[in-house]
Amino acid sequence: MKVSVPGVERNGRSRVREQGSAVAWVESPLQLLCAVEARHAGVVGPGTRVVTRAKLPGLKVTRAELASLDLPGGLVIETADDGMPRPRRRESWILGDAFSGRMQLTSLTAAPAHMVIVDDGLATIRLLELLTGRPGTPLLRARAAATPSRRLLGAAAGLRLRAAARAGRLTVFTALPVPGELARAVRGIGADLITHDFAWLRSQPAVAHPRPPEKTVVLGTSLVRNGLIHRERYLSWLFGLEGPLAYYPHRREDPVDLAAVRDHPGVTVYDGGVPVEMTLRDLRPGQRVLSLPSTAVTSLRVLLSARGVPVETVDVPDDWWTPSASTSLRSHLQMFAHERASP
């Protein structure tokens, strides 16, 4: 069954669930933004507390900007210095990073009324693949070198999430184009799959981030700092592009690399600090976005396609990859490089 409401498409069982209060623990700007979108879409009800991890600069800037916008009714954003809040009974629990050891440990004893998974980059797709794969598969990050105890915790957390799905208590709320076969598998384990197009964000004014004058906008990448592609290859490609260029750094980009980009003629670095979904939503026809594979490619396509702004992914040549990038990881990173997958 498909139920459509403004900005949201729901794929799942025909059931009505009373929306109660909710708590979220978020550790990235994208998780924070998607938790706000979940409240706007009615996936969680009034009385939603979104608690952000303290001392992360990107989250601090994003919180400040969100506070200046018209937040959905019944939602408050807080900061916690003393750790992740524990969901209470009869409360929904919004999961930003289901691979987090702290979150997995809490899931073993918490008994929320409902669990809602929101986007945390392409890791969301890996999570869905693991949840719908072989029973007992531990929930571990793609590059994790897990200890036996960590694998045991990941397996136990997977059992809890799969049990929640079978009981009709798990919702996946995503702006990512989930491939058709995977979407069917998610629904097959009993979870609701709700896709959205940032309806709340699109309704907000973009005055805080006037569009850059440059015609070509390049998104920074974390692949260099993560040791997955060679620094020299990436910078050589970037500096070979026809300028002028607007460059929006990735929040985990190496400061030394960013200094080299800032010093290069014809490149202007814009340090927005908030998700590019917020900073670039006012681009106009005649401009374009270039990026290596990233979640931002898919979300910006959702936001900018109606404006006639192309968002292009750069295929990563084989000689860019380092030995740390396995074949399966390369494939995963580039799975949404071009067209949107079928719903």
The per-residue pLDDT for range 229-238, each reduced to its tens digit, is 999 999 999 9
CB 11 within 8 A of CB 192: yes
Helix boundaries (H) for 17-56: 29-40
Residue 41 — very low, low, confident or very high, per pLDDT cuts 50/70/90?
A: very high
* Size of the chain in residues: 343
pLDDT computed for residue 8 by the predictor: 62
Which of 123-132, 142-151, 331-340 shows the lowest per-residue confidence on average (mean pLDDT)? 331-340
Is it the case that residue 9 has pLDDT exceeding 80? no
Q: What is the pLDDT of residues 50-100, one digit of tens each?
A: 999 887 888 888 998 898 899 999 999 998 876 788 888 889 999 989 999
The strand pair at 114-118 and 170-174 is best described as: parallel
Peptide bond into 244 cis (omega under 30): yes
User: How many CB atoms are located within 10 Å of the residue 146 CB?
Assistant: 14
Token pair 């010093």 is found at 263
- Which is nearest to 179 in space by CA: 164, 165, 195? 195
Is it the case that residue 313 has pLDDT exceeding 60? yes
Handedness of CA 160, 163, 169, 170 (dihedral sign): positive
Distance CA 15, CA 164 (A): 15
- 245 - beta bridge partners? 216, 267
- 115 - beta bridge partners? 93, 170
CA dihedral angle for residue 177, residue 50, residue 94, residue 292, rounded to 10 degrees? 30
The strand pair at 192-196 and 216-219 is best described as: unpaired
User: How many CB atoms are located within 10 Å of the residue 255 CB?
Assistant: 10
Rg (CA), the chain: 20
Tokens at residue 247, please?
């460059």
Give the residue-averaged pLDDT of 240-245: 92
Q: What is the pLDDT of residues 158-170, one digit of tens each?
A: 999 999 999 999 9
Distance CA 104, CA 110 (A): 10
State what percent of residues in the chain have pLDDT above 70. Answer: 91
Is it the case that residue 149 has pLDDT exceeding 60? yes
Give the residue-averaged pLDDT of 276-305: 89
CB 278 within 8 A of CB 256: no
Give the residue-averaged pLDDT of 134-150: 85
Give the residue-averaged pLDDT of 190-197: 94
Kindly state the DSSP code that residue 275 receives in the 8-state scheme.
Answer: -
Letter for the amino acid at 144? A
pLDDT computed for residue 5 by the predictor: 45
pLDDT computed for residue 83 by the predictor: 75
Letter for the amino acid at 115? M
pLDDT computed for residue 19 by the predictor: 67
Q: What is the DSSP string of 131-157?
A: HTSSTT-----TT----HHHHHHHHHH
Helix boundaries (H) for the chain: 29-40, 57-67, 101-107, 123-131, 148-166, 180-188, 199-202, 231-239, 255-263, 276-279, 295-304, 327-333
For the whole model, what pTM was predicted?
A: 0.85
Distance CA 65, CA 79 (A): 15
pLDDT computed for residue 88 by the predictor: 87
State what percent of residues in the chain have pLDDT above 90. Answer: 53
Tokens at residue 37, please?
């979108």
